[in-house]
Amino acid sequence: MIVLFTDFGVRDPYVGQVKARLAEHAPAQQVVDLLHEVPDFNPHAGAHLLAAFASSFPLGSVFLAVVDPGVGTPRDAVVMLADGRWFVGPDNGLLSIVGARHADTRRWRITWQPERMSATFHGRDLFALIAADIARGEFPTDKLSPIDALNVEFDAGDLPRVIYIDHFGNAWTGVRGVQPGARVSAAGQLFKHSESFGFVGKGEGFWFVNSVGLLELAVNRGSAATTFGLKVGDPVQVQRLN
């Protein structure tokens, strides 16, 4: 399974071009669009999201992960194997957190270049081809060089900030493993805990641990983003139980 995780946007003609390449080079592989709206130009938020999602995908999945504001400049391109799953993308921190959270992670720099490579769309011209190789089970040793560490490594701990806002207006944070008794506040508001939406009143705010294990702020049948003015990057305060 090839899993796409990008900021290419769902409405734009970028994802389709990548999929056409995958269809040519790995026609028998399932391709799943996980997320194409990683906050623009924000590999840091993307790295926390990617780390949260990865473990729920099958072993052997190949993540094509591209949030790449530095495309065309001399940043490296990398392949990573972490916890039994593959990751292909730019060396700008995007892959670093999922890598750092597992002990047996292996990393390679992509040394190969295709004959024709645009300056602005390595997702299509480079990363898709490498991901296709790996998904087909033909690990491209000749296109890679093992490395000990990525050039850009983000802190692998939790990120107490909003990292994604969905179309309902729910605000995801980069904080894991919060227990119900914790004290959670953001935007100057203290949030109560609820297991799910329907247990609080209509229009009421609450926090919960979402379906990938992250602390999320929400409003029942409403938008937490609009109600509390939350946006990506805003801090959240979490005081755990002792």
Q: Residues interacting with a second copy, by CB under 8 A?
A: 1, 3-4, 9-17, 19-20, 23-24, 27, 30, 32-37, 40-41, 49, 53, 56-58, 69-73, 75, 118-121, 124-125, 164, 166-168, 195-199, 208, 210-211, 220-221
CA distance 115 to 126: 10
Based on CB atoms, which residue is closest to a second copy, 93 or 144? 93
Q: How far is the CB of 123 from a second copy (least distance, A)?
A: 9
Which H/E stretch holds residue 238? Answer: strand 236-239
Q: How far is the CB of 146 from a second copy (least distance, A)?
A: 26
Based on CB atoms, which residue is closest to a second copy, 57 or 106? 57
Based on CB atoms, which residue is closest to a second copy, 68 or 144? 68
* Residue 170: CB atoms within 10 Å: 20
Based on CB atoms, which residue is closest to a second copy, 144 or 207? 207
Query: Which tokens go with 238?
Result: 């979490």
| Residue ranges with strand state E in 77-213 | 77-82, 85-90, 106-110, 144-147, 159-165, 171-176, 183-186, 189-191, 205-209
Based on CB atoms, which residue is closest to a second copy, 108 or 121? 121
Q: How far is the CB of 188 from a second copy (least distance, A)?
A: 25
CA distance 108 to 150: 9
Query: Which tokens go with 113?
Result: 């270049």
Q: How far is the CB of 38 from a second copy (least distance, A)?
A: 9
